[in-house]
Amino acid sequence: MLASTPPGSPSHNILYARQPIFDREGQLHGFEFLFRHTDGKGLSDGTDAHQATCTVLLNAFLDTSIEHACDDTRAYINFTEETLESEVPFDTRHLVIEVLEDVPQTEAMVERLKYYKGLGHTLALDDYALKDANHAFVPLVDIIKVDFPAYDDDMALLRVVTALKRRNPRAKLLAEKVETQKDFELCRLAGFDFFQGYFLARPTLIEGKHRLVQGTAASSLELLALFQESDVHATEVARIIQQDPVLSVRLLKLVNSAHHQRSTEIASIKQAIILLGLERIRQLACLMALAQLNVSSALPKLALTRAFFCQSLAAAHFAEGISDSAFTVGLFSYLDAFFKTPLTHILDALPLHADITRALTHHEGTLGLLLETTRYYENGQWSSIRWTTLLDHGITPDLIHRAYMQALESAKVPLL
């Protein structure tokens, strides 16, 4: 649930601000998503613009459903020169790449914009303030955001509108910084297609469970280092991601974003990696590392121990094909503790196989039995363990103890 409460809420963090964009009929066309610090303030001299863009992208696409975040319209997000030179792992349905006015008009950047067009992205040119249409990007973009206050008289505005429409007839024109009713009427008469500004709506701070988009910087950096090698295997990528429950959640949210018409439910992290492809995983790692969002606690080690514990029991004594799923169940069983959010709320946003969801929420099925067993064992609740059922699978108390000791070693958690 998106929240627009005042900053400073003890249970929420500011994710971004968003300002509506309307069409000529007054219908919602989209939102511009704007970076905001935790105090609600925007970019300052000490804020890196590329880092700000990465943070907004992660918060918008991987914290909430992007469809929800932009009311199933379009999300305009500022792209710096550095952002344009990197890669964006998100799909093209909702994202509008807003090219900032200070991006250099070089041939290399023209080629870069053509690359994004080839991928199917919508491009917008931000803060257009020239008196003519001679900007190098004008023929390439789909939307031109004209800085209305930059034109000191009506005729100057009409001239630039005419010039832009002549040079790129297919481009839509968006009047930004529309402050009054008079401004709005003038822009309508001038032929603008979309409108944005304080007269229509001010930016609104959006708060949410910021922990849902936090990931370990160490895991992201380790992934980036791995991708520097010439021969990268999905198994090694899975090993790194599986050690970080938060990174795993982001991966699955990225699956939702990239494969919205996916018919296959995900049963393991490795399956998600194969579905996305290694290049998208690299792009996600870059975004996370640059956003510098961090989790620091003992929870990752505890979650990893349980994951190895479930996997060890499954591999030795149940059907061979469920060990990866058992690892995922163990890892994700700690998500509510990580995010201070009910587990069911988190799982609703993830494309997990129904067997994994049932195991996590109700301890149902073989995976549920494994998770229940590990939890009872960890808590010393020996009498609650379903020993008869486990013995039918050849699992004895001694075997469980050895599996737990092996999990501690695999997760490198020191015995206290």
- Give the tens place of pLDDT for each residue, 298-314: 677 788 889 889 988 98
State the span(s) of the chain assigned CATH 3.20.20.450. 13-208
**Band of pLDDT at residue 283, cut at 50, 70 and 90:** confident
Query: For residues 137 and 279, what is the distance between their CA atoms, to the nearest angstrom?
Result: 27
The tokens of 185 are what? Answer: 């009427």
Distance CA(158)–CA(139), nearest Å, equals: 19
The radius of gyration of the chain's CA atoms, rounded to the nearest angstrom, is: 25
Strand, helix or coil for residue 128: strand
Q: Is the pLDDT of residue 156 over 50?
A: yes
Q: How large is the average pLDDT for residues 10-30? A: 83
Helices and strands counted in the chain (H then E): 19, 9
Q: How far apart are CA 175 and CA 27, in angstroms?
A: 15
Say how far apart CA 141 and CA 128 lie, in whole Å. 12
Residue 415 has pLDDT above 50, yes or no: no
Class of domain 13-208: alpha beta
Tokens 């895991």 -> residue: 219
Poorest-confidence range of 183-187, 282-286, 403-407?
Answer: 282-286
Confidence of residue 217 (pLDDT cuts 50, 70, 90): low
Long-range contacts of 363-369 (CB under 8 A, 24+ apart): 366/314, 366/318, 366/319, 366/322, 367/310, 367/314, 367/322, 367/325, 367/326, 367/329, 368/329
218 Cβ neighbours under 8 A, 6+ residues apart: none
Sign of the four-CA dihedral 324, 326, 327, 332: positive
pLDDT reported for residue 290: 57
Question: Residue 413: what pLDDT?
Answer: 47
What value does the mean pLDDT take over residues 109-135?
95
Distances, alpha carbon 232 to alpha carbons 228, 241, 271, 272, in Å: 9, 14, 16, 16
The helix/strand/coil state of 282 is helix
DSSP codes joined into one string, 255-275:
HHHH-TT--SPB-SHHHHHHH
d(CA 82, CA 50) in angstroms, rounded, equals 6
Contact by Cβ (8 Å): 152, 171: no
Strand pairing report for 204-208 and 172-176:
unpaired
> Looking at residue 11, what is its pLDDT?
45
Both tokens assigned to 289: 């590392």
- Judged against a pLDDT cut of 90, whether residue 375 lies above it is answered with yes
> What is the percent of the chain where pLDDT is above 70?
80
Q: Is 0.75 surpassed by the pTM of this model?
A: no
- For the chain, what percent of residues have pLDDT higher than 90? 39
pLDDT (mean) for 148-167 = 95
DSSP state, residue 78? E
- For residues 31 and 70, is the Cβ–Cβ distance under 8 A? yes
Instruction: Report the alpha-carbon distance of residue 355 to residue 357 in Å, rounded.
Output: 6
Cα 286 to chain centroid distance, Å, stands at: 12
- The β-bridge relationship of strands 95-99 and 122-128 is parallel
pLDDT the model gives residue 262: 55
Residue from 23, 26, 20, 18 nearest 2 by CA: 18
Would you state the pLDDT for residue 31? 95
Q: Which of 110-119, 224-233, 268-277, 284-293 is the least confident region?
A: 284-293
Q: Give residue-wise pLDDT tens across range 61-87.
A: 766 667 778 888 999 999 999 889 887
Q: 294: pLDDT confidence band, cut at 50, 70 and 90?
A: very low
Sign of CA dihedral 152, 156, 158, 163: negative
Contacts of 337 (CB under 8 A, 6+ apart): 299
